[in-house]
Amino acid sequence: MINIHKKVVLDEYGNPTEVIIPYKEFLELEELLGLDLEDEVKEHLRQAKNDRMLTKADSYINLDEI
C-alpha cells in the first residue's frame, strides 16, 4: 500500500482547495494509475479491453504458445 504525505491547502473559509504531495509520490501515483503510458500503449489497452468485452478469443495468444 502506498503512503501519501499530503498537505491540504485551505481557502479563507477553511474549505480544502488543493492538495500538495511530494514529487516522488506523485510519480508513483502516476505510474500506478497508468497516466505515464504513451498514447500508442493506451490505444493497445483500449483495443484489448474491447476485444475482451466482445469475447474475441482470436485476438489473444494461447498461453501454451508462449
31 shares a domain with 8: yes
Q: What's the confidence (pLDDT) of residue 45?
A: 83
Q: Which residues pair with 8 in a beta bridge?
A: 19
For residue range 15-56, list pLDDT tens digits in order: 999 999 999 999 999 988 888 888 898 888 888 888 888 877
pLDDT exceeds 80 at position 58: no
pLDDT exceeds 90 at position 13: yes
Q: What's the confidence (pLDDT) of residue 24?
A: 94
By three-state DSSP, how is residue 20 classified? strand
5 shares a domain with 28: yes
45 shares a domain with 20: no
56 shares a domain with 44: yes
Q: What's the confidence (pLDDT) of residue 52?
A: 82
29 shares a domain with 42: no
Domain count, the chain: 2
Of the candidates 23, 15, 17, 18, the residue with the CA atom closest to the CA atom of residue 4: 23
Domain hosting 63: range is 37-66
